[in-house]
Amino acid sequence: MLNAMRKYAYSWGIRILLGLITGVFIFWGIGNGLFSQVKPVASVDGQKILADEVQRQADLMRRSFQNMYGPQAAELLKHMNLQEQALDQIINERLGQREARRLGLRISNQELRRTIAAERAFQIDGRFDVQNYEAVLAENNMTPPQFEELTRVELTMKLLRDMVAQAVVVSDAQARQIYNQRNERVAVAYLEVPSTDFISEIHPTQQQLEQFYRQNAEMFREPERVKVDYILYDPIKLGEKVNSSDKEIADFYRRNLKTLFTYPERVRARHILIAAAPDAPEKDRQQARAKAEKILDQLKKGADFAKLAAQDSDDPGTRDRGGDLGFFERGQMIKPFEDAAFALKPGQLSGVVATRFGFHIIEVEEVKPAHTDTLDQARPRIVELLRERAGKRAAIEDQREDLAAALNGARLTDLAAKRGLDLVSTPAFAAGEPIPRLGNNPDFAQAVFKLGMGEIGTVNGKASGIFLVQLVDRQPAHIPPLKEIADRVRDELVRREAETRARDRADRLIKQIKTAADFNKVAEINHLTVHKTEPFDRSSNTVPTIGDFPEVTQAVGAVTPLPGVIPRVMVQSGNYYIVEVLSRQMPSDEEWTKAAPAFKADLLQSLRAQAWDNFMAGLKRNAAISIDTSAIGGAAPVESSM
């Protein structure tokens, strides 16, 4: 519900785009290497997409992650291929823009001007200032036409998304059916036939091992691996040597005063929501308001807000943390809620506030007034930002100098020693495997696998780092001879045979169960333990004492009458199960009535997101899209001097 409240307040897409301006582009784009060629990465119906465009989009996405997740962003980014995601987003935008034109959807110049002029980053004393606008963009290596085009694209895509979203509606009957499916509680009993019970019985001969190896050789194929030498140019270490002058610090402060060092008023608040849909019968809305008034009266008499929120609030997103919404500024919540919250002082309670979600009671815990850091207050942060920028520039300059020297015959060992850096030699690694000292680094791996033997290249990535690399060995993919992997082959053969025997036994057992009454008899005759669970939510896709088991949680819904047995053997991690459904309980009408407003809002949001994905997938199916996967990456191979 909190997400819905924020989502309806304003467009997150525009805010992220403009938030990137606020964050300042410290790590300006550096391309894909010194000698990267300008060639298409992809085309959409003949319209080319170039590598530098993909890189810019990846930079924007990286910064949005850094803004949203802070210190955790670096770890998250290690597991993402931003180049591929950026390319996909550009393709979506190309297709979306074309479809919007076909449908006659357009953003007027007046609307574009209004959107940009409304941003605080470009205002002085609450009014849009052209010189400030141009200065902020220049500080971030962007021209007004570039930024205006980005904004127009985002506004157009939002218009198209809204059009698709408005076509999605959910009836009460549909919502109730889905709610029942997600919140139904079931209890089961099961018989387990573990494959491990059969392992001790299996003793393959050498002939069987050789035959299994021949028939399944591909599953033992070793992937291609490479070894590289690299020098890492660390911008942080290089920046530590930089001492900015007072003038540089003051100039940076002046240029970024509105974007980095001016803070709007923010409040931290809790709320209790008594849900009521805007189209609910008036009787129901009055009952919801009366309940909210009763809770408000309890709070005025000294009741604990957090306890009442946990007990009575219909907002699942905040209920478990006592209704805590955290800090928010104006523009992040729907207006009636926002107006009430910002009118309160710390410790004060609102009255009952009506919104489209129902009736809220708000308690403000802390208010942070709007303020601007002085130059002295901002100085430590400015020094750090300038050091980061200078360090990045120094890293690129050092890398380029060393690349030129390497192409003229210098050894990486000598280049590293000259700068007091380490030359790191990796062991052989495959694409997708963790790299010692670098961990999971898909940008680095993708880059070095493009190099030929002895070639030297650069890796310039925001998440991967700034490197000079040389490929020193390449081991082609191959299938090892049996004598080298005999234990692996034996283990795989035994595992498969054990699973086959377990499945055969489970199949024989389930054939003996004609009715639910036979379940316990078959277990007793075959000396098997009947495991029973307490009632659990099907929506969790987890069966107690077994774990994640969506096949079972889906199949139990079709079993009638109860008790009844799922008519097929279920398998999970090599173990086989015969499952009896003991009970199935739907949520009550009372539970549905209480949950309906919040559930319907979240369901509608989810279905609209799904509709948008389907809409874009349809556009892609009808377009001629070609992608050069070899052109997506973070390195530029150059000819070796060896």
Q: How sure is the predictor about 13, in pLDDT bands with cuts at 50, 70 and 90?
A: very low
Strands in 291-369 per DSSP E: 324-329, 349-355, 358-368
- Name the residue with tokens 């898909």: 442
Under 8 Å between Cβ of 566 and 557: no
- The order of strands in the sheet holding 625-627 is 47-50, 40-44, 625-627
Q: Which class in CATH covers the domain with range 265-369?
A: alpha beta
The C-alpha atoms of residue 473 and residue 224 are separated, in whole angstroms, by 11
**Position 599 pLDDT exceeds 80:** yes
Q: Is 426 exposed, middle or buried (0-12, 13-18, 19+ CB in 10 A)?
A: buried
* pLDDT tens track for 244-284: 999 999 998 988 887 788 888 989 999 999 988 777 788 88
Share of the chain above pLDDT 70, in %: 88
The C-alpha atoms of residue 192 and residue 635 are separated, in whole angstroms, by 52
Integer distance in angstroms from the first to the last C-alpha of the chain?
62
Share of the chain above pLDDT 90, in %: 51
Record the tokens describing residue 542, joined without a space: 């987890």
Under 8 Å between Cβ of 633 and 450: yes
- Name the residue with tokens 């007004």: 144
Strands in 157-246 per DSSP E: 185-193, 225-232
Helix (H, G, I), strand (E, B) or coil at 283: helix
Q: What residues have CB less than 8 Å from 362, skipping those under 6 apart?
A: 269, 270, 271, 337, 340, 341, 344, 349, 350, 353
- The average pLDDT across 192-204 equals 96
- The average pLDDT across 124-129 equals 79
Under 8 Å between Cβ of 263 and 368: yes
Of the candidates 611, 632, 606, 461, the one whose C-alpha atom is nearest the C-alpha of residue 88 is: 632
Q: Is 279 exposed, middle or buried (0-12, 13-18, 19+ CB in 10 A)?
A: exposed
Task: Quote the pLDDT of residue 66.
Answer: 63
Question: What one-character DSSP code corresponds to residue 345?
Answer: P
Under 8 Å between Cβ of 25 and 140: yes
Q: Residues, the chain, total?
A: 642
- Rg over alpha carbons for the chain, rounded to the nearest Å, is 31
Q: Is 105 exposed, middle or buried (0-12, 13-18, 19+ CB in 10 A)?
A: middle
Quick one: how far is CA 502 from the chain centroid?
A: 39
- The average pLDDT across 213-237 equals 94
Q: What is the crossing angle of helices 12-23 and 144-166, to 10°?
A: 160
Under 8 Å between Cβ of 619 and 99: yes
pTM of the model: 0.60
Q: Which CATH number fits domain 2-171+600-638: 1.10.3720.10, 1.10.4030.10, 3.40.50.300, 3.20.20.10?
A: 1.10.4030.10
Q: How sure is the predictor about 5, in pLDDT bands with cuts at 50, 70 and 90?
A: low
Q: How sure is the predictor about 8, in pLDDT bands with cuts at 50, 70 and 90?
A: very low
- The average pLDDT across 384-395 equals 88
* pLDDT tens track for 600-615: 888 888 899 899 999 9
The C-alpha atoms of residue 59 and residue 74 are separated, in whole angstroms, by 13
The CATH code of domain 225-255+374-475 reads: 3.10.50
Question: Do 2-171+600-638 and 265-369 agree at the fold level?
Answer: no
Q: Residue 289: what residue type?
A: R
* pLDDT tens track for 158-174: 999 999 988 998 888 99
Q: What residues have CB less than 8 Å from 325, skipping those under 6 apart?
A: 2, 268, 269, 270, 271, 318
Quick one: how far is CA 415 from the chain centroid?
A: 39
The C-alpha atoms of residue 13 and residue 633 are separated, in whole angstroms, by 26
Under 8 Å between Cβ of 489 and 213: yes
The C-alpha atoms of residue 83 and residue 60 are separated, in whole angstroms, by 11
The number of beta carbons lying within 10 Å of the beta carbon of residue 218 is: 7
Q: What is the domain partition of the chain in residue ranges?
A: 2-171+600-638, 185-221+483-585, 225-255+374-475, 265-369
